[in-house]
Every structure is written in C-alpha cells, then in structure tokens.
Structure 1
Amino acid sequence: MTSQSYDVIVAGVGAMGSAACWHLAQRGLKVLGLERFDLGHAMGSSHGLNRIIRLAYFEGSHYVPIVRRAHELWAQTGAEAGMQLLHVTGSVDLAPEGAGMVESSLKSCLDHGLTHEVLDGKEIARRFPAFHLPAGHLGLWQPDGGFVASEKAIYAHVGLAQSRGADIRTNEPLLDWSPTADGGVTVRTERGTYSAGRLVITSGGWITDAVPALASKLTTVRQAIGWFTTRRPELFRQGAFPVFILTVEEGNFYGFPLYEHPGFKLGGPHFAREPMDPRDPDRTPSPQQVAMIRECLARYLPDAAGDPLTLKGCVYTVSPDEDFVIDTVPGVPQAVFASCCSGHGFKFASAIGEILADLSTSGRSAFNLSPFSLGRLAA
C-alpha cells in the first residue's frame, strides 16, 4: 500500500479526465490520474474510432462558445501530440421542415455568426447523393463540423500529461474519498491512499459511486453503433460525404464518412437507448437497436446497407434534460465533477478538461456554467 500527495487527483481517465490531466499538468501541477480499466478501454463512451463535432448546435445555442473552444483545442492538442485529432468534413443536420432540429441549428448559427447554408431536398441530393430522403426534409450545412479521433484523443491527452509529469495509473479504480480538515481530499484505492488539494471526478457511468448526489439524477444506457459494408464507397469518402445527424420517422441517427475502417459507421437511434448497469461487462448492442440501424440504412442510405462488419455497444450517462452536469460536489468545494455525455458530450472533452482545470485552480470558468449546474436538477 502506498501513500502519496498530489496537487490534484483525477478519478476517471476517459475523454474528460484525460483532458483534465493534460490541462492541469501543463500548468505545473502534480497530477494523479486514476482509471478503473485499461487506457482506451471499450467499457465507456469513447471507443469506436471517432465522434462527431458540430458547431451548429441544435441542443442549444449556449453550447456553441464551449464547442468552438473545443474545436480550437482539438487542433492544438493534435499538433502538440504529433497526430491529427480533428478532421473537418463539414456537418449537415437533416430533418423534416418544422420538426425543430434544423431550425434550432440555424438559430445557433445566427446567434454566433457561424457560416452555414439551409439546403432543400434537391440540393441535399445533388451534394450528397448517398442520401435518399423523404420529401420535405431540409438540411443545415455548416462547413466547420467534422469528427474527432476519439481513441487517439485520449492517448494524446495522456501522453502529453505524462510528458509534464502526470502520474497515470490504470486498472486502479477509486474506492472512496473524503474531504480533509485542511480543505483537501483523501482518496482510497485497492493499491493505496492518496491525498491532494483538489479532486476532479470524471468517472462516466460510475460517477454516482463518487458523487451520491447524482444517484437519483442520472441514468446509464446502452447505445448501438455499427460499421456496414458499402456498395459504393466513393459516395462515403472524406471530401465527398459529411458527418450528419438524421431525423426520420424511425428516430435520430448519426453517421460519418469512411475513416480507418472499411465499413460505413452509423449510430442510433438516439431515443431507443436501453437502461443498463455499467457494471454489467456485456457491451453487445441489442438486436433491436441493430435492426433499427439496418432499417435506417436500407431506407435512407441504401448504398451503405450491406452486412455489418463490426457492431459495438457503448454506455451513455444521461441527465433528465440531456444537458451536461458540471459542478462542485455539494458541501465540498475542493471536489469538482463533470458528467457530460448524455450521448453528445465527447466533442466538448478538450474544453471540458480546461474548464475542470480552471475550476480546480481558481474556482472560476471563462464560460457560463449555470445551465449545467447540479441545482437545476433538484426535485
């Protein structure tokens, strides 16, 4: 058993935690990162090669300043790490006119001066002939969208943090923690007890173990993603095809241009997620979700409706309103946490890491975090 002291301990070294480790370490702080699994594991929400980044944000215009900062940081972090993390392909939101998604994305663009175009059905078909959409669909095109290489991003953040002296320990989950009389924290694992002035909790589906106040607020769910054989891969290559969010009668789906995998990647349907216990080791996607994905492909992207090459499930941690929760632990200001995902959080991870570093060192953030407070979820 060991006993060591740090400036900051980060519990959970996934998307948000690895970014926090990097931002803290580059400020000269002594950082310990604790991860319950291997680095880059497939038990959470960050595997599967890539995640979409959208600046035209239909979930709310208040997200745009943070995602713009994340966009900058993904490019900077990739340059610092010597690997491309940000791939700009353009993004298009596709939905029936009047359904609200295109209209909300347009509002985000207008509120923040983002370059954009509204596309009718003919223009969608002309630019992206892979789509076979029902009459009445509109598209919101935003050229700065794209995707982040999600698995590489975690490796990049951890490598950079280690280069600045961060101590990253895998297969060592936090068992419990407590505040100390001097305003710090004590953290206990199976391997030792550690002390620090600050604690950052970014443990995804397991966050309620460390922050009991969240237990009645969050739900963990399973979501399916798959890569499918394409009949005409030229339609789906980068440069010819964007990242997209698609709303159809079967639900909301999301997809990518071809990247590193020979299959076409599609995920969803967003609101058919199934509650699960993250401690269940089975990450097999449900047959019902896979069937809905295949039906979406057959109807709306038929040239990518071949046999599945890879199927995966991942765990999302979802708040009741599907907005992020970023706050201090009630009554313990030296402990901050982020439970960000709700199925749309990865793109923000680089900026959330910076926010958590700011909150840990100064207690303040450059962004308005009130929409993400724990207090908004009070019953």
Structure 2
Amino acid sequence: MSDFDVAVIGLGAMGSAAVAHLAERGVRVIGFEAAFPAHALGSSHGDTRLIRLGYFEDPAYVPLLHRAYANWRALEAASGADILTVSGILQIGRPESGIVAGTIASCTLHGLSHEVLDAAASAVRFPAVRLEPDEVAVLEPQGGFLRPETAVMAHLRVATGAGAMLRLGEKVTAIEPDDAGVTLVSDHSRVRARKVIVATGPWIADLVPALAGIARPIRQVVAWYTPRDGVSATLGPMLPFLLDEAEGGSFFGVPALGPDGLKVGKHAHFMEPVDPDQSNPPVNEADLAMLDDFVARRIPVAVGQRRAAITCRYTMLPGEDFLLDHLPGEPRIVVASPCSGHGFKFASVVGEILADLAMNGGTSLPIDAFSFAALAGKKG
C-alpha cells in the first residue's frame, strides 16, 4: 500500500493550491518544496499579481477565471487572509492592439461589464497614466490584483489544517513509476504515492525531461516608484493597468499600495534565458533604463522616483499557454507547467483541476487547450 494517495512536488502558486484542494477532499497528500514557499527564485513573489475577467489572450480562459474568482473568495473565507482586491483595471492601447481588441472581444462574447475611454476621458478619471491621443483604455470593473505570497501561504495553511503533510527544504530528485504507483526519491528520503503532481516551475524539465528545451525559464524585472505627490498614483486615483505599445511590447503596473510605491514591469522583459539552478542575475542598467523610460513617458508623476527593483522568473511555453495534463503514457504523473508569465491569477482553479486529474483521471473544467497534444502543435 502506498504511503500517500498523491504527492505534490513544488509548492508555489499551483502546487500549494493542489495540496489544499486535495487535502480538503480527504486525500492522503504530501507536498515537497525544495526551498521555502514563495521564495525569490520562483515566480510567486513580488507583492502583487494582476487579475481580470476580460482576457485578451483568448476568450476561452474566461470560464476558468470565473471559477478562479470564486475559489479565491473561498480561500479567503477558509484562511482569513486578504488575497483578492477587486479595484477595476485599465487595459490600454490603440483600438486595434491585441490588448484592447482582445479584451473587448472577451468582454463582448461573455457579457462582461466594461467601458471604453478615449485618451481625454481617461486623463480626467485616471490622470496618473498618460495615453497617446490615438489610444483608448478599456475599464473592466471586475479586474484587480492578488497578493501572491499571502495566497501561497493561505493555501498551505488550509492544506495542513485538513491533514496534508508538508516537507520544506526537501528536493525531489527522481520519480520512479511502477505498476503500483510511484516512488519519489529526495535528498532526504524515499516516499511512495499512488499519483504525483509535478509543479516545479523553472525546474520542471528536471523531473519531466520531455519539456527540456520547451519550458524556458527567463529573467523578469520589476521596479517600484514613489509618486512625487504621494497621492495620484495610489489605488483609487490610479488603477492597475496593462498597456500595449505594439512593437515595444506590453507593460503592466499596480498602483502604490504602501511605502514602496507603484509597481511597473514589462511582460517577458528582454526574453533572456536563465539557469534555474543559479541565483537570479542582478538588475542591470539596461533593465532600469527600459523601465525608467516607460515611467517617464507614461507615469510622469513618478519620474526619477525609483525606490527598488528585483529580478524574478517566468517560465515560457510555446504559444504562452499552460500545460495541465498527464504525462503521455504515464497516467500516474500529472504535469502542471509554469504558466508563461500569466498564470498566477488562475492558481486557485488550477489547484482544483490538478486534484481532479490526479484523483479522477480528468476534469469537467475546460482544459483541452492545455494538453501535451496541444503543446506539440505549437512547438514548430
């Protein structure tokens, strides 16, 4: 008999949620984390993550987002933590841009509340972020932000409260499947389980060699700026935003929530690969010059007011979608890939999906686009 029904390797955004959902179902579950949860070498830190219903990437994500919102509220109720703030969000660009056109398409298809503001109207209502004359801002009132470190720790508190065992500072180095289940070999022990979920972020290819060269860890830099007047770039006068600069890429921002100021970054930054086994490369002058230039052009109230900048990681898949599937030919192993820099908002529902896949072999939630078969069609 196996020691556990399910073992979860990696307790970041997705793994912590999976452990919580499994434990709440009464499943005998153990979770492994090589470091401490929400550590700085993964992708689940940095104070905030954006969340929105009007998903420009693909309207097919919207049903999952509805479930994610409900699950975040359920986690707050179960843990007492403050995780999800619905503040409204601005999605900015030229009308034909991917962010604007895609957001409007998702909102229209799914009947989501939204308002389109021209540059003049946006300047009156939300003056901190400067639009070009030919740009518009799509105001989606259900958008907002999550607190990632709080969310990860809340999932783990719920998990342990429901009976999950956690092993922190223990790295799993091998998975050995057999007819009766799997053996997990760590740097401290060997553990038996019927099923395993692999959610190791930038290290996914170490345990899932099929993803070597496909799941690519890259360097991401974000910075914080203090508005000179102390008010205009705080939450309320300013909203979280996404801004499409066409060939210049897309940027994101979160208003000042505390003394560190407002947060700014560029999605996928310079697409520079990183070695996940090494420390994060330091922030350099090119990083700061790009973000400072964006702030100077778009958030002039914060020019010259940078307080801090950090390096973290995205792990990108071809097509920038997710991967949530059984390993081909191995029904005992469920793979939860890194989610290409836009997955944290889905963590609460991905945990539910992973629990379904491990315990039931499938899920009623719409994940066909996130299979190994779908990924194979994007690799070329």
Match of 1:226 among 223, 235, 245: 223
Aligned to 1:370: 368
Q: CA deviation at 1:201?
A: 0.6
Show the counterpart of 1:160: 158
Encode CA deviations 1:213-265: one digit per residue, 9 max, x unaligned: 11132211001011112112311222222111012263211011222343111
Aligned to 1:64: 62
Seen in structure 2, the aligned counterparts of structure 1 residues 4 and 308 have a Cα distance that, compared at 3 Å, is farther
Give me the whole-angstrom Cα distance separating, in 1, the residues matched to 2:240 and 2:213: 34
2:199 aligned with 1:202: yes
User: Is residue 13 of structure 2 the alignment partner of residue 15 of structure 1?
Assistant: yes
Aligned to 2:106: 108
Deviation at 1:113, TM superposition (A): 1.1
Deviates more, 1:316-325 or 1:299-308: 299-308
CA gap of 1:95–1:293, structure 2 versus 1, over 3 A, is: same
Tell me which residue corresponds to 1:173: 171
Whole-Å separation in 1 of the counterparts to 2:355 and 2:89: 30
Residue of structure 2 in register with 1:349 after alignment: 347
TM-score relative to the length of structure 2: 0.96
Distance in 2, matches of 1:166 and 1:286, equals 41
Q: 1:4 to 1:189 in 2, by over 3 A?
A: farther
Partners of 1:92 and 1:45 lie apart in 2 by 24
| Counterpart secondary structure, 1:175 | strand
In the alignment, which residue of structure 2 is the partner of 1:244?
241
Point out where structure 1 has 5 or more consecutive residues left out of the alignment.
Answer: none
Q: Is the 8 A contact 2:18 2:354 kept in 1?
A: yes
Helix, strand or coil: the match of 1:198?
A: strand
Do the aligned residues in 1 keep the contact of 2:127 with 2:238 (CA within 8 Å)? no
Report deviation, 1:163: 0.4
The Cα shift of 1:268 comes to: 1.3
Q: Distance in 2 between matches of 1:284 and 1:35?
A: 24
Match of 1:277 in 2: 275
Cα 1:320/1:286, change in 2 over 3 Å? farther
Counterpart of 2:141, as a letter, is P
Q: Which secondary structure does the structure 2 equivalent of 1:234 belong to? A: coil
Residue of structure 2 equivalent to 1:323? 321
- The question of whether the paired residues in 2 share the 8 Å contact of 1:217 and 1:377 is answered with no
CA contact (8 A) 2:315 2:339 kept: yes
Task: Determine the C-alpha separation between the residues in 2 that align with 1:244 and 1:36.
Answer: 34
**Are the structure 2 counterparts of residues 262 and 271 from structure 1 closer, same or farther at C-alpha, using a change threshold of 3 Å?**
closer
Sequence identity percentage = 40
- Give the equivalent residue in structure 2 for 1:306: 304
- Provide the secondary structure at the position in 1 that maps to 2:232: helix
CA distance in 2, matches of 1:100, 1:8: 40
The Cα offsets for residues 96-147 of structure 1, whole Å up to 9 and x where unpaired, read as 2222320111110111111111111111111100022211011111101100
Structure 2: how far apart are the matches of 1:156 and 1:40?
11
TM-score in terms of structure 1 length:
0.96
Give the whole-Å Cα distance in 2 for the aligned partners of 1:269 and 1:226. 13
Structure 1: which amino acid aligns with 2:13? A
- Taking a change above 3 Å as real, the CA distance of residues 317 and 52 of structure 1, as seen in their structure-2 partners, is same
Equivalent AA in structure 2 for residue 158 of structure 1: L
Deviation at 1:284, TM superposition (A): 2.2
User: By how many angstroms is 1:282 displaced?
Assistant: 2.7
- What is the root-mean-square deviation of aligned Cα atoms in Å? 1.5
- Equivalenced residues, count: 376
Could you tell me which of 272, 292, 295 is aligned with 2:293?
A: 295
How far apart, in 2, do the equivalents of 1:232 and 1:297 lie? 15
2:295 aligned counterpart, secondary structure: helix
Q: Distance in 1 between matches of 2:10 and 2:301?
A: 39
Hey, what's the Cα distance between the residues in 2 that align with 1:14 and 1:201?
11
Report the counterpart of residue 185 of structure 2 in structure 1: 188
Within a 5 Å distance, the mapping from 1:111-122 to structure 2 comes to 111-122=109-120
Whether contact under 8 Å (2:119, 2:136) holds in the other structure is yes
Work out the CA distance in 1 between the residues paired with 2:264 and 2:224. Answer: 7
Rounded to whole Å, the distance in 2 between the matches of 1:300 and 1:348 is 29
Deviation at 1:269, TM superposition (A): 4.7
Q: Determine which of 13, 27, 42 is the counterpart of 2:25.
A: 27
How far is the alpha carbon of 1:210 from its aligned partner?
A: 0.9
Matched position secondary structure for 1:227: strand
